[in-house]
Structure 1
Amino acid sequence: MSKVLITGGAGFIGSHLTERLVKLGNEVTVIDRTPEKEPENIKSVIKEINFVHSDILNFKTLEETIKGKEYIFHLAANSSVNKSLEKPSWSAEQNILATVKLLELAVKYGVKKIIFSSSAAVYGDRKELPIKETAPLDPASPYALDKVTGENYMKLFSRLHNIDTVSLRYFNVFGPRQNADLPHPGGVTIVINQIKNKGSSQLQGDGKQTRDMIYVDNVVNANILAMKKGSKLNGAAYNVSTGKSISICELHDKISKLMGVESTREYLPLPKGNIIHSQGDNSLAKSELGFKIEVDLEEGLKGTLDWSKNQV
């Protein structure tokens, strides 16, 4: 049993990770600024964890929360590209300042390892696909730059302070509990809701953009594997991807077919900072972490649809 802290552990990805770590017998603490004092996403395990209802920018509370922990999964962040474009200084505070303070406190209290949730957005738009971890980083938004900076701090603190860190570059994660209210038209949950409610969905751009869609359970697996890796990772970065891509239009059609309905598409302008094509090479994560895709796209979409049927 390990003592673990999950920042943002009541969010979309974080809640699935929280449940898995509890199931594996770990002593789990979650810190999250969710509006709910007993978050819906983690209600199944709320009595089995220590839940701290706080923003991680409350550094006094963060310090108390980090004391005595062996592992930290750092997921808390502004995850919206659009918000980062509107409020870059606010996004930097959420994503960079909070990360640096967390690293300082982790060093102070002897944390063994930090698993940092990064993003494929660090690559920008790459012509060479699938993208390897050795590809140049070319962030196209403040959000992406925040993640590059976070990765660099992870690597630096590993070198300066002998704390083990690893960055996981998530590609397009989907699954149950994904927030359909975020301004990301084209996301799986949003498409499902729009087809269900209107018989059509809004897609940004011409719909020919491609994405590497990865089901949330696979992302949780990558986090657990990174935690359990015995040898030091020293700030290494790994793609968490399927190695396959699908166009936004094809994704829409696949969802419509699984729902058993005919639906139309509406097209919206593509906002600045959005990537056209994305597909990750996951061979490094496979060889060094033992990562593999256990839930494919179709199975993941079915799981997400089953969950959405019970949502109001």
Structure 2
Amino acid sequence: MEFENITFPKGTTFLVTGAAGFIGSNLVNSLLDKGFKVRGLDNFSTGREINVEEFLDNPNYDFIKGDIRDSEVCLQACEGIDYVLHQAALGSVPRSMKEPLIYEDNNIKGTSNMMEAARLSGVKRFVYASSSSVYGDSPELPKIEGKEGNILSTYALTKMTNEQYGKLYTEVYGLECVGLRYFNVFGKRQDPDSQYAAVIPKFIKSILSDEPVEIYGDGEQSRDFTFIENVIQANLKSCLAPSEACGRAYNIAYGESITLNDLYKKIGVLLEREINPIYGPERAGDIKHSLADISNTKKFLSYEPHWDFETGFKLAVDWYKENLIIKQATNS
């Protein structure tokens, strides 16, 4: 197993912000399975209560309903915590283009609140979610840290700002911060019902419902889709990486890419259904191609992604088949 060589002292406590979200709830699940003490924080603005409720009976878990924009809540959440895994944020590039100020409030102020609370509480390390969107209009492939282009969206700007805060808090305030530039994470619990749903659950739900999917642009845009288990590994290894690794952000991906057209075909094959997509205009702020160079991540974080796209993809499709069919049957 990929986590066997990741060990923490007995009694280690983790705070997972955004614990009701897709990535946050998977982190909570994994940490509790390993016997760690975990505190979750979420305000349910985008997270789902069901993702919290399933852990409430676990004696190693406690949950705070609260907002990272509230500095007092952040201090309460960080009390007695060894490691913060900060996932709380507003996602979605398209929404950020429509509502820029709420992204500044949540993603920038909220994250700086959490870093300050972690510093004041003596947290050992602060690991936070960044994004591949920070590469902007850089045409270079694969994407390498330090070779970013012009920012294309408000969402990307907030994540780049978070990285600057992480560098500052590491170098000036002594809080060891590690940023993780996620590349199109997918897996169980990813919400297919949001207006801004990620492409994989959105495609799966539409095809299971016999509805055509709209693909923005020509479908030849490519993405480095990253299975959730690789992301969990990256978060845990970031907690244990040498201090020299802190104050930086790293690509978290598998290192291979696939076009949306090919992705759509693969979903159809696995679901044994064939529905032609509908092509629409390109979306503002979207990056055309995404492929990560993970050499720095391997070097500094000892990251080794064991889950390739095909393996993770089959598991994700099976999970959605089971859970969406159950949901459809319950609602019928």
The match for 1:31 is: 41
TM-superposed CA distance for 1:3, in Å, is 1.4
Moved beyond 3 Å, runs of 4+: 35-38, 183-186
Say if 2:262 is the partner of 1:254. Answer: no
Say if 2:72 is the partner of 1:60. Answer: yes
TM-superposed CA distance for 1:232, in Å, is 4.2
Show CA shifts across 1:228-264 (max 9, x none).
2243433111100111111100010011111111121
Show CA shifts across 1:166-187 (max 9, x none).
0000001111111112334770
| Conservation of the 8 A alpha-carbon contact between 2:20 and 2:48 | no
Separation in 2 of the partners of 1:37 and 1:130? 32
**Structure 2: which amino acid aligns with 1:196?**
L
Show CA shifts across 1:128-185 (max 9, x none).
1111112124321000000000010010011111110000000011111111123347
**Structure 2: which amino acid aligns with 1:3?**
T
**Structure 2: which amino acid aligns with 1:2?**
T
The match for 1:177 is: 189
Number of residue pairs matched? 312
Taking every aligned residue pair, what percent have the same amino acid on both sides? Answer: 35
SS at match of 1:89: helix
Say if 2:167 is the partner of 1:155. Answer: yes
Say if 2:167 is the partner of 1:167. Answer: no
Structure 1, unpaired ranges of 5+: none
Q: Find 1:105's aligned residue among 114, 117, 122.
A: 117
**Structure 1: which amino acid aligns with 2:226?**
I
Separation in 2 of the partners of 1:286 and 1:260? 37
Query: Could you tell me the TM-score, scaled by structure 2's length?
Result: 0.89
| Conservation of the 8 A alpha-carbon contact between 2:46 and 2:90 | no
Q: Find 2:256's aligned residue among 241, 244, 262.
A: 244
- CA shift in 2, pair 1:137/1:38, >3 Å: closer
SS at match of 1:6: strand
**Structure 2: which amino acid aligns with 1:62?**
C
Separation in 1 of the partners of 2:137 and 2:263? 20
Separation in 2 of the partners of 1:273 and 1:36? 21
| Conservation of the 8 A alpha-carbon contact between 2:166 and 2:178 | yes
Show CA shifts across 1:276-301 (max 9, x none).
11101111111222212222212212
Separation in 1 of the partners of 2:194 and 2:48? 21
Q: Find 1:140's aligned residue among 152, 159, 172.
A: 152
Structure 2, unpaired ranges of 5+: 1-10, 328-332
Separation in 2 of the partners of 1:99 and 1:293? 27
1:14-29 equivalent positions in 2, closer than 5 A: 14-29=24-39
TM-superposed CA distance for 1:38, in Å, is 8.7
- CA shift in 2, pair 1:185/1:153, >3 Å: closer
TM-superposed CA distance for 1:61, in Å, is 2.1
After superposing the two structures, state which structure 1 stretch, 195-204 or 249-258, moved more.
Answer: 195-204
TM-superposed CA distance for 1:26, in Å, is 1.7
The match for 2:51 is: 41
| Conservation of the 8 A alpha-carbon contact between 1:38 and 1:46 | no
| Conservation of the 8 A alpha-carbon contact between 1:18 and 1:42 | no
Q: Find 1:79's aligned residue among 85, 88, 91.
A: 91
